Amino acid sequence: MATSLALIILLGLFSDYLFKLLRLPGLIGMLLAGILLGPYVFNVIDPALITVSADFRMLALIVILLRAGFAVKRDTLNRVGKRAVIMGFTPAVFEGAMIALTAPIFFNISFFEAALLGSVIAAVSPAVVVPSMLKFIEDHRGTKKGIPTLLLASSSLDNVFVIVIFSSLIGMYEGKNPNIFLKLLEIPVSVAAGIITGAVIGFTLYKLFEIYKPRATKKTLIVIGTAVLLTWLEKTLKPFVSLSAISGIIAIGFIMLEKSESIAHVISLKLGKIWVFAEILLFVMVGTQVDINTALDAGMAGAAVIFLGLLARSAGTYVS
């Protein structure tokens, strides 16, 4: 496993550097590195590492969500709040609907299966959006209008919305006939429950750090560990109440930033350093899950469906 990790780190760093030289997103290079290292091409990654890759990807996602929380300020969030809610579902609806309508034309699938496909493709990845928006905030690009904060907030809402739609469609596909109204009601309940839980955790951690004053590295590890437990809580409570761990994790950072900028600053710096490794691990491990043969089978038809979906998403973003 150690050798596999070494390959992931070295090839991930090299591919990131190479693609940035070509003025392309580094994450594309890391994804390609993962595809080449994975079981569908050269198969050089230890199977034991692939088995636990979901946990590694979750940890990396937690790191970037915490960084997002530590970058969101209340005054900016107040300015973009209403628009963030609208952008949290409108682009996803446009994209999902377009794919549901066009996918049956290109593939031998039913409208219902196309709707399921649309709900998957329409999901926004925080791991892609958040680093870009944090870079915008650091460079003061679009910050006067609160654009980075708008996209950070709306992308987290988008995730919750798409997950609820997907679970509803899966239930209908399996013949369970879920109550659509109750499922849609889960969205605000899930977000609110996540924010409240995250706010309580963030305030508690702030108080503990004020009293005991652990060093910055220990503070960061405590915050990450607590965020991991929040994802466990989400899974545990799922049969009883819907709770968005994504919203909760962002809320932890947001509250700590509100209570103490000095504490938030040192933790954010540490998270930024951890993200260098976490980003490589995340995107390379995602690449190992890609079956290149299936992707090639989809061919131009798959590319056309994605392109049409993106056009619809752009229209949805524009009207938002």
Q: Say if CB 71 and CB 152 are below 8 A apart.
A: yes
Instruction: State whether 76 and 194 are in the same domain.
Output: yes
Instruction: State whether 187 and 216 are in the same domain.
Output: yes
Give the contacts of 79 (CB within 8 A, at least 6 positions apart): 146
Please report whether residue 186 resides in a domain.
Answer: yes
Please report whether residue 109 resides in a domain.
Answer: no
pLDDT in the model for residue 156? 85
Instruction: State whether 213 and 65 are in the same domain.
Output: yes
Instruction: State whether 248 and 276 are in the same domain.
Output: yes
pLDDT in the model for residue 169? 87
Instruction: State whether 45 and 130 are in the same domain.
Output: no
Instruction: State whether 170 and 142 are in the same domain.
Output: yes
Instruction: Tell me which residues of the chain have a pLDDT lower than 50.
Output: none
Name the residue type at position 292.
I
Instruction: State whether 12 and 130 are in the same domain.
Output: no
Structure tokens at 151: 């996209």
Outline where DSSP puts E strands in the chain: none
Please report whether residue 18 resides in a domain.
Answer: yes
pLDDT in the model for residue 49? 92
Structure tokens at 310: 């993106």
**Which long-range CB contacts under 8 A does 20-27 form with residues at least 24 apart?**
27/128, 27/279, 27/283
Instruction: State whether 213 and 174 are in the same domain.
Output: yes
Domain of 260 in residue numbering reads as: 60-89+123-288
Closest-CA residue to 303 (of 155, 107, 167, 160): 107
pLDDT in the model for residue 63? 96
Whole-number Å distance between alpha carbons of 297 and 121 = 17
Instruction: State whether 163 and 208 are in the same domain.
Output: yes
Please report whether residue 94 resides in a domain.
Answer: no
Count of helix runs (H) and strand runs (E) in the chain: 14, 0
Please report whether residue 206 resides in a domain.
Answer: yes
Instruction: State whether 45 and 146 are in the same domain.
Output: no
pLDDT in the model for residue 181? 77
Give the contacts of 297 (CB within 8 A, at least 6 positions apart): none
Q: Residue 186, SS3?
A: helix
Name the residue type at position 60.
A
Instruction: State whether 83 and 35 are in the same domain.
Output: no
Instruction: State whether 265 and 141 are in the same domain.
Output: yes
pLDDT in the model for residue 170? 87
Domains: count for the chain: 2
Please report whether residue 317 resides in a domain.
Answer: no
Please report whether residue 293 resides in a domain.
Answer: no
pLDDT in the model for residue 280? 96
CA-CA-CA-CA torsion sign (34, 36, 39, 42): negative
Please report whether residue 116 resides in a domain.
Answer: no
